[in-house]
Structure 1
Amino acid sequence: MQTGKIGVTTENIFPVIKKFLYSDHEIFLRELVSNAVDATQKLRTLGVTGDFKGEMGELKVSVKLDEAAGTLTISDNGIGMTAEEIDKYINQIAFSGVTDFLDKYKDKAEAIIGHFGLGFYSAFMVAKKVDIITKSYKEGAQAVKWSCDGSPAFSIEEVEKDGRGSDIVLHIDDECKEFLQKAKIQELLNKYCKFMAVPIAFGKQTEWKDGKSVETEEDFIVNSVAPLWTKTPSGLKDEDYKSFYRSLFPMNDEPLFWIHLNVDYPFNLTGILYFPRVKNNIELQRNKIQLFCNQVFVTDQVEGIVPEFLTLLHGVIDSPDIPLNVSRSYLQSDANVKKISQYITKKVADRLNSIFKENRKEYEEKWNDLKLFVNYGMLSENDFYDRAKDFSLFTDVEGKYFTFDEYHTLIKDNQTDKDGNLIYLYATQKDEQYSYIEAAKNKGYSVLLADDQLDVPAISMLEQKFEKSRFVRVDSDVIDRIIAKENTPEMKLEDTQRDILSASFQSQMPKVEKAEFMVDVQALGETAHPVLITQNEYMRRMKEMSRYQQGMGFYAQMPDTYTLVLNADHALIKKVLEEGEKNTADALKPILSEIKGLEARETILRQEQGKKKPEEVTQAEKDDLKQTEDAISKQRDEKQNVIANYAKGNDAIHQLIDLALLQNGMLKGEALDKFIKRSVGLIK
């Protein structure tokens, strides 16, 4: 028996392996099965080159559990090792059998995976002792057993073994007993080894016999050695792609379409990426891309490895140029990964563009499912916007689809305001904003529908891209002010009349949670609604954007601000004004006279003090001005009270306010109950 110490350049190598080599202990099974597949693939390559002339037999890897003995064994019938090779590839951690093998067979080697030196030591993350029982494929080779208990000390002895290959026997540590459970090993094999290139056997097939499930003599193979992405696209049918998708994501709806990736220069990459039906919840759709290296699972945490928006795609990416390492920070900084990311972005854009050009009708039918993905891409990747602007679509409230250029041509003549700005009108809720949409359509304007999760952020982005253009929600103001033309109607009311109307309605506005109201009087024409509620485009959009962007929490805390617009041309508003003037005239006359006199005095005092330097103004003069200002404020409050007392008893004012609130879904609770009772009374 030979004994010795493992050649390492770092002291205490095993604690380092246990804690820092891999981010997750379960990865040990991937490494050991990969090594076994590697050894088997090497034998297959030697057979092709003529360096191995013996009987190859059925090549496979076997995983066996012995719960009683506390062992997990990974076996292969590949090339095996001699005692000298164990010393070189196992005892010297810095060496790798893969490197030497590839140097010799770089033009013929099949799917060589793993790193047979360092990867093997991941076994010690879960095992207190590891045995290697191995016999080389070379003629006359002697089988040997290598043992190590997790310290640098090891032993090698000659043993008997039937047939070539290696058995890696893990004596599972007491703290890792979960890896002696069949269900756990099955889960890990399915996760990491589902598509490895050599059959992997774990347990036996079962069949239903005499009313119960019994094992057969046939091995249960856990993997598919030739997954769909390794096959030539020209030989595959749509159903093949759909079936593979169902095997990957059995609970998902059928995908929209897919891209079969297959490139060998300037890097190697294969895979299939599916476009899922993504309608609202972005977070639920992430982490559905599985990253492989030569059919060995690497990770499904691909954020930062591929562009953010591509994480919404589903499927697999396989590349030998992606290092078999689960460190995401390593992957994110790897040059090959960045090239692959750029390539996939281009392929995705090219695929969407080709579908759009070849079958626009089909593309439009799928647009509602694609829109979130495309918007996400344009928002997060400027390069993707440059590609996507030609196949990204607008949808109007009539359900018609337009490219950006087509829509620009449609509205440029009619929806340009007096300052030369092109106004894109949009609605976010077609039913709730129906009246505003109809008002715009009556003017001959087109209204876009922006009811998707990322439509509002996309609109803000497009405003930066489009020249001299603004996007305005259709209920943000009266339509004549949203697209202001030269012939804006003039207001014919006097200031006192405007005050009576504004104060009458302002004083009777009900309390609405997290909402503030202002009142404005406009000349909208006799046929327009008597009242309507608008919401400032800028503030509303800032509040909406705060849901998506960090650092905008200030806007999220602010109340919603609305404007109640009174149409001074409408008969009902004229009637309210007429009654208001009649009922408040006597009470307002002395108040208005007093205000007029006080305001004249205030003007004189300010003019006199304005002629002096600040330090020359006496305290008495300052007090005089302050008392005048307070007196004006008091009289204005009196004026408001007089108008409010009149308005309180005017059912028409309350009815008009409630109708405006009801139209916007803001009339609830007690206010709604009062409205119903008042309406019944008016019908009588």
Structure 2
Amino acid sequence: MSQKGKIGVTTENIFPVIKKFLYSDHEIFLREMVSNAVDASQKLKTLAVQGDFKGEMGELKVCVSLDEKAKTLTISDRGIGMTEEEIDKYINQIAFSGVTDFLEKYKDNANAIIGHFGLGFYSSFMVSDRVDIITKSYKEGAKAVKWSCDGSPEFELEEVEKADRGTDIVLHISDDCKEFLDKYKITELLNKYCKFMAVPVVFGKKTEWKDGKQVDTKEDNIINNVEPLWTKTPSSLKDEDYKNFYRALYPMQDEPLFWIHLNVDYPFNLTGILYFPRIQNNIELQRNKIQLYCNQVFVTDQVEGIVPDFLTLLHGVIDSPDIPLNVSRSYLQSDANVKKISTYITKKVADRLAQTFKDDRKDYEQKWDNLKLFINYGMLSQEDFYDRAKDFALFKDVEGKYFTMEEYKTLIKDEQTDKDGKLVYLYATDKDEQYTYIKAAQDKGYNVLMMDGQLDTPIVSMLEQKLEKCSFARVDADIVDRLIVKDDAKKETLEKDKSDNLSQVFRSQLPKLDKKEFYVEVEALGEQNQPVIITQSEYMRRMKQMSQFQPGMSFYSQMPDSYNLVLNSNHPLIKKVLDDEEAKNADALKPIISELKGQEARLAALHQAQNKKKPEEITQEEKDDVANTQKAIDEQRNKKNEILNDYAKGNKIVHQLIDLALLQNGMLKGKALDDFLKRSVDLIK
């Protein structure tokens, strides 16, 4: 008997809403259809176990088939099926109220509508002009019925002939969704959403190469693994099983370092396998590798905000019936069960790392370079993870030796504590480029850490906050005696006039490099140290590096790099330059210096006299006197600098020393490098 009716909704615009607002996520319809078919098959198994179904169960599988000519996609199962009454209850009555509020709240979110209101079946109308349900219940004496709807609230229901129990869902694909009539597209979606469902999912037949072409065989093409590795008992699995499963999930990835098999049933249900990949220096490319499942049904692989951010660097699978299926990520992020799961996984990961470190430290150290980015990211982003990780996070020094934080503190506290009782951690970022600075520190008995990782700059800043009374300094941030100041004893210094002249000689010959500023200073460093050393402020360099991670600090990235050119007044070559400069310029500079000192003395006297007066008591004549005296001083200084600049231009040693320092720091290139090489040959002749 045929009947017609209206689907029980309180408004007639539910289908346009599904079509319009769910369109961006329309591919999930296939997951919904196959998932429903799997559920129907699973329910029949349950009824059989309970004794409520005594018939012949036979082979339970879900079949997906395409008919491109008829423009249909069909999903068939041999599950429990439905009676006419059940169709009326589960299909015709969409049980929700307040449709107006619903539309406003969920109009932009496909997953939220489908999951929150149980509209999984109705996702089929996102891609279909008409949907037919042909179904026959497992119940004895049940009659087969066909339900049809063209996307309006109108439906037709009639009795039909169907030999076997179960349900066929026939989707008449819309013209604007023809992509879902392409077998390669359907294969892609089945592999994405259904590859681990608990009932075999069949799509066509397996093929073989015959007579120069691919032909179908008689064997069903089963696209899924009904018993994925995470559903099995860990004790029954071998290392090779875990590696093979990883290769199946990520065919092009390197072998993982190790893994965690999650298996908990209280206070929530959770299974899964998380792999530690070989992460080195690219965080972003490693994301979205954790696949989230609910009872073996794929939910999402975009797990940011669902699990802690640093865990998104792991690979693998998490499966939990307590994770709501078909809801938005924002809903998942606020779900209480998901938060519990997140906390549990963080603890399990930390426990696994701690146990690995304890069981085989040597092996752990060999894996550290791949683990470091992950652990550093965790410590930076998750406070409770830092509290756990500080015991198995390692420092590596330039000699390749590994230390826990506590071990390293014990190692350096005697030698690397400064006069104020602060422990100074020295580090390098490039062993070859910073070799001279590393050696200078080692010659002092200091140990130097190797910190060349992507997150080492923010880690250093964090550790300065976490560790008691300490600071970190890169070995080229200053001359070694100023990196760790041991006492306040004054060292020998050059006379001011000589120091000023020497500084000007070198300053005048420094190149103009893009976004780089140089400051010159003179320091007595001992005859054995380099004649010229370039250092870079720890603070400014670190701020510029931190600006890469914190957008609010972007103004630092626009500032030029600031370097100090330190002249070692004890070195014979610097002494030679100074002596030569004095010998050649003494006569020319003598009257200028005499005039300069006289004007400076006059300016000091004028300032002293005016300091005794209130600003309003100083006459214009007195102000002009100060300005004219300052102008005279500037003129004499310019004359002096011109003489020193002319001298410096022709001094090959000055140019050679500057270029050597630039070369050591990777800043000598192009024509400047070519000139240096030619000059080097001339000096050797």
Q: TM-score, normalised by structure 1?
A: 0.96
Give the counterpart letter for 1:120 in structure 2: F
Indicate the SS of the match to 1:303: coil
Contact in 2 for aligned 1:23/1:326 (Cα 8 Å): no
State the SS of the aligned residue for 2:375.
helix
Greater CA deviation, 436-445 or 8-17? 8-17
Q: In structure 1, how many angstroms separate the alpha carbons of the residues matched to 2:300 and 2:627?
A: 73
1:495 and 2:472 correspond: no
- Distance in 2 (alpha carbons) for counterparts of 1:170 and 1:592: 98
Superposed displacement of residue 500, structure 1: 1.3
Q: Is the 8 A contact 1:80 1:137 kept in 2?
A: yes
What is the match of residue 441 of structure 1? 442
> Contact between 2:37 and 2:76, CA under 8 Å: does it hold in 1?
yes
Q: Matched residues in 1 for 2:559 and 2:254: separation?
A: 40
Under a length normalisation based on structure 2, what TM-score does the superposition of the two structures give? 0.96
Partner of 1:99: none
Matches within 5 A, 1:328-339: 328-339=329-340
Deviation at 1:11, TM superposition (A): 4.0
Mean Cα deviation higher: 581-590 or 378-387 = 581-590
Asked if structure 2 preserves the Cα contact closer than 8 Å seen for 1:89 and 1:117, the reply is: no
Q: How far, CA to CA, are the matches of 2:684 and 2:324 in structure 1?
A: 78
**Structure 1 position 83, deviation (Å):** 0.5
Alignment correspondent of 2:101: none
Residue type matched to 1:499 in 2? D
Distance in 1 separating the partners of 2:474 and 2:396: 14
| 8 Å contact kept, 1:25–1:125 | yes
Greater CA drift, 207-216 or 147-156: 207-216
Contact 1:23 1:327 in 2 (8 A): no
- Contact 1:134 1:145 survives alignment (8 Å): yes
Give yes or no for contact 1:22–1:326 (8 Å, CA) kept in 2. no
Describe the superposition over 1:54-100 as per-residue Cα deviations: whole angstroms up to 9, x where unpaired. Answer: 000000100000000000000000000000000000001118xxxxx
Q: C-alpha separation between the residues in 2 aligned to 1:8 and 1:345?
A: 44
Aligned position for 2:219: 218
Matched residue, 2:33: 32
Instruction: Name the SS for the 1:131 alignment partner.
Output: strand
Matches within 5 A, 1:102-501: 117-486=118-487, 488=489, 490-501=491-502
User: Which position in structure 1 is the counterpart of 2:621?
Assistant: 620
Cα distance in 1 for partners of 2:479, 2:537 equals 11
- Indicate the larger mover: 321-330 or 227-236: 321-330
- CA drift of 1:596 comes to 1.4
Aligned counterparts of 1:91 and 1:490: Cα–Cα separation in 2? 93
SS of the counterpart of 1:604?
Answer: helix
More deviation, 440-449/582-591: 582-591
Q: What is the CA deviation profile of residues 125-149 of structure 1, one whole-angstrom value per residue up to 9, with x for unaligned ones?
A: 0001000000000000010000000
What whole-Å deviation, never above 9, does each CA across 1:388-424 have from its counterpart, x for those lacking one? 0000000000000000000000000000111111110
Amino acid at match of 2:286: Q
Bigger mean CA deviation after superposition, 240-249 or 626-635:
626-635
Give structure 1 regions of 4+ aligned residues with deviation exceeding 4 angstroms: 113-117
- Aligned AA for 1:345? T
Q: Deviations over 1:487-507 (max 9, x none)?
A: 656133110010111011101
Q: CA deviation at 1:639?
A: 1.5
Q: How far 1:249 moved relative to its partner?
A: 0.3
Contact 1:299 1:326 in 2 (8 A): no
Contact 1:205/1:220 (<8 A) preserved: yes
The one-letter code of the counterpart of 1:76 is D
Check the 8 A contact 2:115/2:327 in 1, yes or no. no
The one-letter code sitting in structure 1 at the alignment partner of 2:122 is: Y
Any stretches of 5+ residues in structure 2 without a counterpart? 97-113
Which residue identity lines up with residue 503 of structure 1 in the other structure?
Q
The one-character-per-residue Cα deviations of 1:408-459 (angstroms, maximum 9, x if unpaired) are 0000000011111111000000000000000011011000001111112111
SS of the counterpart of 2:635? helix
**Residue equivalent to 1:546:** 547
Provide the secondary structure at the position in 2 that maps to 1:63: strand
Matched letter for residue 457 of structure 1:
P
Tell me, yes or no, if structure 1 residue 93 matches structure 2 residue 112: no
Q: C-alpha distance in 1, partners of 2:200/2:287?
A: 30
Is the contact between residue 394 and residue 404 of structure 1 (CA under 8 Å) also seen in structure 2? yes
Residue 646 of structure 1 is matched in structure 2 by 647
1:618 deviates by 2.2
Report the alpha carbon displacement of residue 281 of structure 1 after superposing the two structures with TM: 0.9
SS at match of 1:366: helix
Quick one: distance in 2 between partners of 1:62 and 1:377?
44
Q: How many residues align?
A: 668
Distance, in Å, in 2 between the alignment partners of 1:283 and 1:556 is: 21
Q: Secondary structure at the match of 2:552?
A: coil
Give the letter for the 1:380 counterpart.
Answer: S
User: Residue 583 of structure 1: CA displacement?
Assistant: 1.4
Q: Is the 8 A contact 2:67 2:181 kept in 1?
A: yes
2:601 alignment partner AA: A
1:35, 1:116 within 8 Å by CA — same for their partners in 2? no
Q: Distance in 2 between matches of 1:531 and 1:480?
A: 15
CA distance in structure 1 between the aligned counterparts of 2:459 and 2:246, rounded to whole angstroms: 30
Contact 1:94 1:118 in 2 (8 A): no
Letter matched to residue 431 of structure 1:
D
> Which secondary structure does the structure 1 equivalent of 2:411 belong to?
helix
Does the CA-based 8 Å contact 1:273-1:315 persist in structure 2?
A: yes
Q: In 2, are the aligned partners of 1:503 and 1:644 still within 8 Å (CA)?
A: yes
- Matched position secondary structure for 1:551: helix
SS at match of 1:552: helix
Secondary structure in 1 aligned to 2:551?
Answer: coil
Alpha-carbon shift at residue 51 of structure 1 (Å):
0.6
Moved more, 599-608 or 194-203: 599-608
CA distance in 1, matches of 2:167, 2:604: 102
Indicate the larger mover: 578-587 or 481-490: 481-490
Note the C-alpha offset of 1:586: 1.3
Q: Does the Cα contact within 8 Å between 2:378 and 2:385 map onto a contact in 1?
A: yes
Partner of 2:102: none
Q: Give 3-state SS (helix, strand or coil) of 1:141's partner.
A: coil
Identify the range of structure 1 (195-204 vs 577-586) with the bigger mean alpha-carbon deviation: 577-586
CA contact (8 A) 1:22 1:327 kept: no
Q: Is the 8 A contact 2:308 2:342 kept in 1?
A: yes
How far off is 1:224 after superposition? Answer: 0.4
Residues 1-43 of structure 1 deviation map (CA, whole Å, 9 limit, x = unaligned)? 1111100134411122223458510000000100000011010
Offset at residue 209 of structure 1 (A): 2.9
How much has 1:326 moved relative to structure 2?
4.5
Alpha-carbon distance between aligned partners in 2 of 1:393 and 1:295, rounded to the nearest angstrom: 37
Name the stretch that deviates more: 213-222 or 466-475: 213-222
User: 1:547 offset after TM fit, Å?
Assistant: 1.4
Does 2:530 correspond to 1:529?
yes
Letter aligned with residue 349 of structure 2 = V
Give the C-alpha shift of residue 626 in structure 1.
1.5
- Contact 1:500–1:581 (8 Å) recurs in 2: no
2: CA distance between counterparts of 1:340 and 1:132?
38
Identical pairs, percent: 75
Distance 1:424 1:19 in 2: 60
Q: What is the DSSP-based 3-state SS (H/G/I as helix, E as strand, rest coil) of the residue aligned with 1:140?
A: coil
- C-alpha offsets along residues 168-209 of structure 1, whole Å, 9 cap, x if unaligned? 000001100000000000000000000000000000012233
TM-fit CA distance, 1:116: 10
Give the match for residue 678 of structure 2: 677
CA root-mean-square deviation: 1.5
CA distance in 1, matches of 2:493, 2:83: 104
Matches of 1:207 and 1:448 in 2, distance apart? 58
Residue 340 (structure 1) shift: 0.8
Which deviates more, 204-213 or 4-13? Answer: 204-213
Q: Distance in 2 between matches of 1:227 and 1:602?
A: 88
